[in-house]
A and B are shown apart, each in its own frame.
Chain A
Amino acid sequence: DTGVSQNPRHKITKRGQNVTFRCDPISEHNRLYWYRQTLGQGPEFLTYFQNEAQLEKSRLLSDRFSAERPKGSFSTLEIQRTEQGDSAMYLCASSLSYDTQYFGPGTRLTVL
């Protein structure tokens, strides 16, 4: 499968715990994006990378969220001290610059 992959697919955690998600983009894609989607809403932009450089981060993104793409390939999204409001589907997408964004299957986070 040469599409975007994400792990884990589901994560249940208790409030206050830290969680980390991984995204593996399509191999030749230099751009990688993170979005969050809640039930009944469209995906909401969080941050994106060109190679290993983080180019933009949403102003809505709390300091508890951090993302990395250390070697310009896979990326991780970490949420520290999770809150119930963090429960959502976290989607990763990848693309070539200014080209179609292809989405992964998402990681569904449930914070109890």
Chain B
Amino acid sequence: GENVEQHPSTLSVQEGDSAVIKCTYSDSASNYFPWYKQELGKRPQLIIDIRSNVGEKKDQRIAVTLNKTAKHFSLHITETQPEDSAVYFCAASSYNTDKLIFGTGTRLQVFP
């Protein structure tokens, strides 16, 4: 069935360092890959997304890369700041259904 695996489950970095979170999906029909940030007690908020016709997308300090052949996509955060500390979820959906299949989340801690 549909599945999205996410690694690592926790990630601790020093302020200013880069952070990378990786996800693998199983459904070859997946064509949309959003990333959500969820702070404690808050709603998930979209930070960046990518569609399968694009290999990479960047928005200031955040970038996402997609490897359709390997069914991998990754989130890259550069110059991390303490306010980047949160849980990050990757997700995937396919062209024939709009539902999002989420990964299990990565808790990112950025230490000053």
Residues of chain A touching chain B, judged by Cβ–Cβ distance below 8 Å, are 4, 31, 33, 35, 40-45, 48, 55-56, 91, 95, 97-98, 100-106
Contact = CB atoms under 8 A, between A and B. Distances in A.
Chain B interface category by residue count? 20 to 34
Nearest to B89: A42
B44 A45 contact: no
B43 A105 contact: yes
Given A98-B32, A101-B34, A42 B104 contact: yes
Nearest to B31: A98
Interface of B: 4, 6, 32, 34, 36, 42-46, 49, 89, 91, 95, 97-105
B105 A42 contact: yes
A101 B95 CA distance: 15
A104 B91 CA distance: 17
A4 B89 CA distance: 19
